[in-house]
Amino acid sequence: MAGIKTSKGQQVHHSKHYAKGQEWVPCKVVCPKIMGKGTKMFMSAQSKHTGEIYKNSQGRPMPWKAIPFTTIKPEGLD
């Protein structure tokens, strides 16, 4: 018998992330460590339109949780 299957679990709405007038999506970044040898891997943000990585004032990628996002869509963004 055909019908609609029931949804189990909580329904979650994932909002989009905006900063600097662009939409950002998560990405994994591998960069050299500041102190010592080797590399460091963490989640950062990548622009959905231009592909650039979100960087801080020193020019290093910023961790995802440290970026000040907003859920309000900027004007002029399609």
**Per-residue pLDDT tens over the stretch 41-53:** 999 999 999 999 9
Predicted pLDDT at 53: 96
Residues 48-70 have a mean pLDDT of 94
Residues 24-44 have a mean pLDDT of 95
pTM beyond cutoff 0.85: no
Predicted pLDDT at 1: 57
| E strand residue ranges, 3-72 | 17-19, 22-32, 39-47
How many Å separate Cα 25 from the centre of its chain? 4
DSSP 8-class letter at 70: B
- The two tokens of residue 18 are 């905006």
Q: Does residue 4 sit in helix, strand or coil? A: coil
Q: Does residue 8 sit in helix, strand or coil? A: coil
Residues 70-78 have a mean pLDDT of 84
Predicted pLDDT at 66: 95
